[in-house]
Amino acid sequence: MARRATQAISGGVYENLVHDSAHKHVSGAALYVDDIPEPPGLLHAAFGQSARAHARIKKLDLAPVRAAPGVVAVIAAGDVPGANNIGPVVADEPIFADGLVEFVGQSMFAVAARTLEETRRAARLAVVDYKDLKPILTVDQAMAAQSFVLPPHRMKRGDTRRALARAPHRLKRRLEMGGQEHFYLEGQVSLAVPAEDGDMVVYTSSQHPTEIQHLVAKALGLRDNAVTVEVRRMGGGFGGKETQAALFAVGAALLADKTGRPVKVCIDRDDDMVMTGKRHHFVTDYEVGFDDDGRILGIEFELAARCGMSADLSGAICDRAMFHSDNSYYLENAVIDSYRCKTNTVSDTAFRGFGGPQGMMGIEDAVDEIARYLVKDPLDVRRLNFYGTKDRNVTPYHMVVDDNIIGEIVDTLEASSDYRKRREAVKAFNSESPVLKKGIALTPLKFGIAFTATQMNQAGALVHVYTDGSVHLNHGGTEMGQGLLTKVAQIVAEEFQIDADRVKITATNTGKVPNTSPTAASSGTDLNGAAAQVAARTIRKRLASFAAEHYGVKAANVVFRANKVKVGRRTLAFEELVWEAYRARVSLSSTGYFRTPVIHYDRDKARGRPFRYFAYGAAVSEVIIDTLTGENKLLRADILHDAGKSINPTIDLGQVEGGFVQGMGWLTMEELWWDDAGRLMTHAPSTYKIPVASDVPADFRVQLLETGRNRTNVVYRSKAVGEPPLMLGISVFHAIKDAIASVGDYRFSPRLDSPATPERILMTVEALRARLSSAADDARAAE
Amino acid sequence: MGPKSRRREAQIGTIRFLLNDQVRELDAVDPNMTVLNYLRGVERKTGTKEGCAEGDCGACTVVLGQADGNRVRYRAVNACILFVPVLDGKQLITVEDLAAADGTPHPAQRAISELSGSQCGFCTPGFVMSLFALHASEPKPSRQRINDVLAGNLCRCTGYRPIIEAAQRMYGYGGGDRFAARQKETLKRLKALRRRGTLALEAKGRRYFAPTTLNEMARLCKAHPDACILAGGTDVGLWVTKEHRDLDILIYTGNVRELAKLKVANGHIDIGAAVTVTDAMDVIARHYPRFGELLRRFASVQIRNSGTIGGNVANGSPIGDSMPALIALGSSVVLRHGPRFREVPLDDFYLGYRETDLRPGEFVERVRVPVKSAARRFGAYKISKRFDQDISGVLGAYALELDGGQVRDIRICYGGMAAVPKRAVRCEKALIGQSWSDGAVARAMQALDADFQPLTDMRASADYRMLVAKNLLRKFWMETTNPGVGLDVVSYGS
């Protein structure tokens, strides 16, 4: 070890460096926005919310709010100096409702008071006179009313009508999938501090500081350069802080501007769950035609998403659902129609996978239905339909899949998980067990990496080397727990060949790196890692050419290795060279800029190469269900995931495990439930249940693909890993479906919707039993 | 109230507790202030986080040390719904306190950090504190026990695997707990803080009493019939954090010696109203393993460490976990009013939605549960979306006495099926005197249609509730008649 230490740096790429904040997490020293020492004069703010799903505001009497103890300021729609809007793409979402409320929980006004308790109490005192309008709450209602936030969109390849007409078998199905609450443990929070010239500094928990900067500036009627936004870390994001942090940041800034005092918005969990968007609820209808072996000949999808009251990111989310309606399968003839339904519910938003999970659930349902119809092992039908490597490799959006390794991954996992033997064991168990039933399923994963909005695929970084050889690293990526800042620091350490602990990780700040994209689409490391690499290389090159000139050697003979620099036959400590370079007036600071090459997409034609590459993976899940109650349990999960050549295998494994469990939660116990008036009744952890420790299978075998290496030249040949593993959770849903199917001796397919709560499982079991007995009646009648 | 007693109530207005190893004396503390707000707002110790302010996520987990015989007992609780005056006489330990003076982390901290058990880190202090309490009180646990200990801590990032491993690995580092090393000294200091008489506080127009004797408790309740009686506060806390109510007079049961007792005598388990679920669990499980299993899934360790059986019963929620089992077993409550007391069968105690037979000034003194008998079979099943730390959609409890193959007596009670925990009278009637058979059970299942008209809400639909209520009876029948058949998903494979 000691010898190695002299030859290599500690914390370079491919190493299992511990998360840079781990020691601060465990000691309570990591500062989140609400932990920042409170500035003098701080006010706390809260929002007044709509109690109705759809209504005209006839009168909004804020006098009782203003008169409440401790209240310093109250603002509503008329008090916004700039634009009363936080819609990120379409200007269709007011900061404060202006005469019309469109969901329960919509912000109508904000109040600032001396204490948090005072402001929360005051926010409840407004007297509102509503004139109720008819709300649209469900996808079916929206489709009937043709109520959309954005126009429908179609993707198309081949001649699907003809393929369906000629197919030996056809199935028509509907699958309904509930949404999902992000349940980041740290709720939405922002602290706005007024500065001179009317400038504003905002500390926030956001995946998109640049957007917060823009929206605060617009609301205040300022230029972007008057607003600085800083994010050190989030207590979880998962997409829920991509656009959804804006309301709270803007509200804090407006009140800070009005009062001239710092204002903090730290909203209560229940309010957070009611006021902020979630994963989209989808209703997917499809018709699929296939041959006797189960090969898909043609498929038509209709994906209807419940978007809520505004567009938010629904356009791109629904597009991504369409892009993933193939998952790993070759669809020669496909039509994919997408409807973006406007409903009187909170505007749904980004959530890990960004529509991809819903898209995949549709095609996985189709493949599973085909297998059950043909009474085949679903894995065989899946494999039969996999993309080819040389042919059968064009997606419904006409992109060639040129890095397909799904076959290899599934073959490996099938063997390592003992899938076939266990399937037999499951059947044997079920034939002996009258009440408890087991099920098993293997599902594949192919996920496209890049923002599908091409202009977002760019990133910047800023690297300083100080004269003592220590490095200051900054870039546009934000840390929400995924280890991004650690991985980018490893890249910079590797470039300079210095220990990672010499690289200072710093808060994301719009004043340091401007015009950034959100940390989203799994792109954090691909983009920001590459930008930081460029910045570090720029400085390293300057150091190298200085050394070459100064010591009279060829630039090629300047080698950075293990905290040292070899300059010809001379060896200097890194900091010695840095100091010499400084004295010689060499710039030791650089920006770095990266834009993703190759990608392009013509949305009007639904054709192009929206993704730079694909990430792959597969999972096998085995479950047990109780056919008297619907209770269920995941017994074992085997996962093989492709993270390319992982920059930090431990961190990436954490993404895989965490993503899988989150996906399992979405499809099993996590249920959002609205009442008939459009009120979300599952608005706290007491009623909305995310997985806990006991839900993680006792037998959990998770591996990164050892031979993983990105065929595309992504930074250090790694692959993005943030979102894809969530979709490995689909295997749990299909294992449950398989367990239910055993009740009908695998002769009928259970029509299971998501989430597969105990209730939905039991009701599906009951429906299957009813079909069984009516089939038996029919058989008797026929005799 | 005479001038004498008023003087007595006003005798001490200061609470004293150990914050880590320093004595804190607070006067004029608002009785409605939570420990979490105190830590973050007053002490500016921000390591302890607010995740939900309702005791469900565990991000606010802190540990309370209490003198217990010749040792200090460390238990994890939710700071977000714990009122500050409850700290009186206890030790409060937070995540900032665990490392040694030289900065060496506690084994729980080291293990979580080394195993990458933190990602975003927001839940981490809570997990650290749960593991700290575990490390301080138990030898290396099984996976099942770890699941139980962590059921009250939500993590949205890691998928828990590394945290579960950390719970085991922390035992391999050997020692490292500075609180264990100083236990004797701490014990002495805690004993010095112990209060003999009633603690009476007044601040911000709110009053708080913590009597130490049953008579004093009875006197205070009678004198303040509109007071809110505070036991574990695991529901009352939410009235403050979520409903923003002012609880102007609180009377705390936790210091009353008689109420903290649990006795098994004269054919009954007598559970004092201040006995925590944690403390009641083992005894109950010895008599009724199925009831014990129910309590293992009763909320979380943090809630069970604060919450009491008496509070669960007195609170009277239609979906409280303990009452259906207690009612099926024929339990009763002893109610106290001034010097008088009366015993009421628990099934007569509930009058309507969150409405009980408690009269003004009266309080629950004990819950009396008949001890196990060889003749009686008992089963209880909780159905929820998540196994751990969830509120039941339906909970069925069954106490059966057979005479040969015939049902001599059966008591059936459901939670989640009506506005109160309620016996299935028609269903019971359909079974009593019948043979304990498939056919009789099928008829009794149908009788449930006449017993209940359940609601549809976010936990379950009316149809599902009814179907499951019926199926649970079938399950109980199968369990009693065919023990070889696998019926339990919860414990399957463990």
The per-residue pLDDT for range A507-518, each reduced to its tens digit, is: 999 999 999 999
DSSP state at residue A481: S
Does A7 lie at the interface with B, CB-CB under 8 angstroms? no
Cis peptide before A755 (omega within 30 of 0): yes
Structure tokens at B197: 């008489």
Residues A12, A108, single domain; the answer is: no
Q: Which of B175, B204, B221 lies at the terminal end of a domain, its last residue?
A: B175
Annotate B341-352 with DSSP letters as a single string.
EEEEEHHHHEEE
Residues 6+ apart with CB under 8 A from B239: B228, B245, B247
Residues A9, A49, single domain; the answer is: no
Q: Please name the member of A35, A480, A481 whose beta carbon is closest to the beta carbon of B46.
A: A35
B94 interaction partners in chain A (CB closer than 8 Å): 28
- Distance, in Å, from the CA atom of A75 to the CA atom of A247, rounded to the nearest integer, reads 13
Chain A residue with the nearest C-alpha to that of B154: A692
Nearest-neighbour CA in chain A from B95: distance (Å): 6
Q: Which of A595, A622, A641 lies at the terminal end of a domain, its last residue?
A: A595
Q: Tens digits of per-residue pLDDT, B22-46?
A: 999 999 899 999 999 999 999 999 9
pLDDT at position A507: 98
Is A266 inside a domain boundary?
yes
Report the mean per-residue pLDDT for chain B. Answer: 95
Q: What CATH number has the domain bearing residue A224?
A: 3.30.365.10
pLDDT at position B5: 46
User: With 80 as the cut, is the pLDDT of residue A720 above it?
Assistant: yes
* CB count in 10 Å sphere of residue B210: 28
Is B195 inside a domain boundary?
no
Nearest-neighbour CA in chain A from B3: distance (Å): 34
Is A211 inside a domain boundary?
yes
User: With 80 as the cut, is the pLDDT of residue A1 above it?
Assistant: no
pLDDT at position A212: 98
Does B242 lie at the interface with A, CB-CB under 8 angstroms? yes
Q: Is B51–A269 a contact, with Cβ atoms under 8 angstroms apart? A: yes
Report the mean per-residue pLDDT for chain A. Answer: 97
Annotate A68-126 with DSSP letters as a single string.
STTEEEEEEGGG-SS-----SSSS---SS--SEE-STT-EEEEEEESSHHHHHHHHT--
Q: Among residues 335-394 of chain B, which lie with CB inside 8 Å of chain A?
A: 381, 383-391, 393
Beta strand pairing call for B71-78 and B14-19: unpaired
Is B392 inside a domain boundary?
yes
pLDDT at position B174: 83
Element (H, E) at A619: strand A613-626
Residues 6+ apart with CB under 8 A from B281: B292, B295, B296, B304
**One-letter amino acid identity for B135?**
H
pLDDT at position B7: 44
Residues A50, A22, single domain; the answer is: no
Q: Is A693–B153 a contact, with Cβ atoms under 8 angstroms apart? A: yes
Residues A24, A82, single domain; the answer is: no
User: With 50 as the cut, is the pLDDT of residue B81 above it?
Assistant: yes
Q: Is A685–B52 a contact, with Cβ atoms under 8 angstroms apart? A: yes
Burial (0-12, 13-18, 19+ Cβ within 10 Å), A468: exposed
Nearest to A243 by CA among A492, A9, A520: A520
Give mean pLDDT, residues A555-563. 95
A636 vs B27, more confident:
A636
> How far are the Cα atoms of B88, B114, B151, B155 from residue B296, in angstroms, in the given order?
28, 30, 10, 20
Chain A residue with the nearest C-alpha to that of B150: A693
Q: Tens digits of per-residue pLDDT, B148-187?
A: 999 999 999 999 999 999 999 999 998 778 898 899 999 9
Q: Among residues 464-523 of chain A, which lie with CB inside 8 Å of chain B?
A: 480-483
Q: Does this complex have an ipTM over 0.90?
A: yes
Q: Is A669–B244 a contact, with Cβ atoms under 8 angstroms apart? A: no
Q: Which of B175, B192, B216 lies at the terminal end of a domain, its last residue?
A: B175
Does A51 lie at the interface with B, CB-CB under 8 angstroms? no
Does A250 lie at the interface with B, CB-CB under 8 angstroms? no
Q: Among residues 14-33 of chain A, which lie with CB inside 8 Å of chain B?
A: 18-19, 21-32
The torsion angle over the Cα atoms of residues A507, A509, A511 and A514, rounded to 10 degrees, is: 130
Give mean pLDDT, residues A571-600. 97
| Lowest-confidence segment of A208-212, A598-602, A626-630 by average pLDDT | A598-602
Number of domains in chain A: 2
Does A650 lie at the interface with B, CB-CB under 8 angstroms? yes
Q: Which of B175, B205, B220 lies at the terminal end of a domain, its last residue?
A: B175
What is the share, in percent, of chain A residues with pLDDT greater than 90? 97
Q: Is B458–A120 a contact, with Cβ atoms under 8 angstroms apart? A: no
Give mean pLDDT, residues B338-359. 96
- Distance, in Å, from the CA atom of A122 to the CA atom of A48, rounded to the nearest integer, reads 9
CB pairs under 8 A, 24+ apart, for A369-373? A369/A171, A369/A173, A369/A288, A369/A749, A370/A169, A370/A171, A370/A288, A370/A290, A370/A294, A370/A296, A371/A294, A372/A741, A372/A746, A372/A748, A372/A749, A373/A169, A373/A171, A373/A749
Nearest to A445 by CA among A664, A652, A615: A615
Q: Among residues 94-153 of chain A, which lie with CB inside 8 Å of chain B?
A: 117, 120-121, 124
Catalytic residue among A181, A549, A723, A766: A723
Beta strand pairing call for A471-475 and A503-505: parallel
pLDDT at position A24: 98
- Decide if A115 contacts A129 (C-beta within 8 A): no
Chain B residue with the nearest C-alpha to that of A480: B120
Q: Is A696–B160 a contact, with Cβ atoms under 8 angstroms apart? A: yes
**One-letter amino acid identity for A557?**
N
pLDDT at position B12: 53
Nearest-neighbour CA in chain A from B202: distance (Å): 20
Residues A23, A52, single domain; the answer is: no
- Distance, in Å, from the CA atom of A549 to the CA atom of A540, rounded to the nearest integer, reads 14
Q: Please name the member of A633, A657, A682 whose beta carbon is closest to the beta carbon of B159.
A: A657
pLDDT band at B204 (very low <50, low <70, confident <90, very high): confident
Residues A94, A205, single domain; the answer is: yes
Is B346 inside a domain boundary?
no
What number of CA atoms fall less than 13 Å from residue A684's CA on the CB side?
17
- Distance, in Å, from the CA atom of A759 to the CA atom of B393, rounded to the nearest integer, reads 10
Residues A6, A61, single domain; the answer is: no
Q: Which of A532, A563, A595 lies at the terminal end of a domain, its last residue?
A: A595
Q: Please name the member of B98, B105, B151 whose beta carbon is closest to the beta carbon of A693.
A: B151
Give the number of A-B residue pairs with CB atoms closer than 8 Å. 276
Q: Is A629–B381 a contact, with Cβ atoms under 8 angstroms apart? A: yes
Is B196 inside a domain boundary?
no
User: With 50 as the cut, is the pLDDT of residue A4 above it?
Assistant: no
pLDDT at position A6: 54
Is A140 inside a domain boundary?
no
Element (H, E) at A530: helix A530-551
Does A158 lie at the interface with B, CB-CB under 8 angstroms? no
Q: Is A692–B96 a contact, with Cβ atoms under 8 angstroms apart? A: no
What is the share, in percent, of chain A residues with pLDDT greater than 70? 99
pLDDT at position A306: 98
Sheet holding A107-113, edge to edge: A71-76, A107-113, A43-49, A263-266, A189-194, A200-204, A227-231, A508-509
Structure tokens at A70: 């401790």
- Distance, in Å, from the CA atom of A573 to the CA atom of A470, rounded to the nearest integer, reads 12
pLDDT at position A288: 98
Element (H, E) at A465: strand A458-465
The torsion angle over the Cα atoms of residues A714, A715, A718 and A721, rounded to 10 degrees, is: -90
Q: Which of A573, A595, A617 lies at the terminal end of a domain, its last residue?
A: A595
- Distance, in Å, from the CA atom of B470 to the CA atom of B137, rounded to the nearest integer, reads 41
B98 interaction partners in chain A (CB closer than 8 Å): 27
Q: Is A25–B125 a contact, with Cβ atoms under 8 angstroms apart? A: yes
- Distance, in Å, from the CA atom of B325 to the CA atom of B471, rounded to the nearest integer, reads 17
Nearest-neighbour CA in chain A from B368: distance (Å): 29
Q: Is A187–B159 a contact, with Cβ atoms under 8 angstroms apart? A: no
Which residue segment(s) compose the domain that B114 sits in? 107-175
Please tell me the total number of residues recorded for chain B in this structure.
Answer: 494
* CB count in 10 Å sphere of residue A779: 9
Burial (0-12, 13-18, 19+ Cβ within 10 Å), B88: buried
User: With 50 as the cut, is the pLDDT of residue A535 above it?
Assistant: yes
Q: Please name the member of A32, A120, A762 whose beta carbon is closest to the beta carbon of B468.
A: A762
Q: Which of A31, A33, A185 to mutate to test the interface with B (most CBs of B within 10 A)?
A: A185
Residues A123, A19, single domain; the answer is: no
User: With 80 as the cut, is the pLDDT of residue A783 above it?
Assistant: no
Q: Which of A19, A23, A26, A264 to mutate to test the interface with B (most CBs of B within 10 A)?
A: A26
Q: Is B159–A26 a contact, with Cβ atoms under 8 angstroms apart? A: no
Q: Please name the member of A651, A684, A692 whose beta carbon is closest to the beta carbon of B389.
A: A692
B475 interaction partners in chain A (CB closer than 8 Å): 435, 628-629
User: With 80 as the cut, is the pLDDT of residue A143 above it?
Assistant: yes
Does B198 lie at the interface with A, CB-CB under 8 angstroms? no
Q: Is B113–A121 a contact, with Cβ atoms under 8 angstroms apart? A: no
- Distance, in Å, from the CA atom of A598 to the CA atom of B91, rounded to the nearest integer, reads 62
Beta strand pairing call for B262-265 and B249-252: unpaired
Is B208 inside a domain boundary?
no
Residues A14, A126, single domain; the answer is: no
pTM: 0.97
Is A726 inside a domain boundary?
no
B311 vs B204, more confident:
B311
Residues 6+ apart with CB under 8 A from A485: A20, A477, A479, A505
Q: Among residues 455-484 of chain B, which lie with CB inside 8 Å of chain A?
A: 457-461, 463-464, 467-468, 471-472, 474-475, 478
Is B120 inside a domain boundary?
yes
Number of domains in chain B: 2
Is A222 inside a domain boundary?
yes
Nearest to B447 by CA among B432, B420, B426, B422: B426
DSSP state at residue B416: S
A189 interaction partners in chain B (CB closer than 8 Å): none
Q: What CATH number has the domain bearing residue B453?
A: 3.30.390.50
Within its chain, how far is the Cα of A438 from the centroid? 31
Chain B residue with the nearest C-alpha to that of A185: B51
Residues A104, A14, single domain; the answer is: no
Beta strand pairing call for A263-266 and A43-49: parallel
B114 interaction partners in chain A (CB closer than 8 Å): 18
Q: What CATH number has the domain bearing residue B160?
A: 1.10.150.120
Does B34 lie at the interface with A, CB-CB under 8 angstroms? no
Is A540 inside a domain boundary?
yes
Q: Is B159–A658 a contact, with Cβ atoms under 8 angstroms apart? A: yes
Give mean pLDDT, residues A280-308. 98
Which residue segment(s) compose the domain that A63 sits in? 40-132+182-275
Residues 6+ apart with CB under 8 A from A778: none
Is B471 inside a domain boundary?
yes
pLDDT band at A695 (very low <50, low <70, confident <90, very high): very high
Please confirm, yes or no, whether A576 is among the known catalytic residues: no
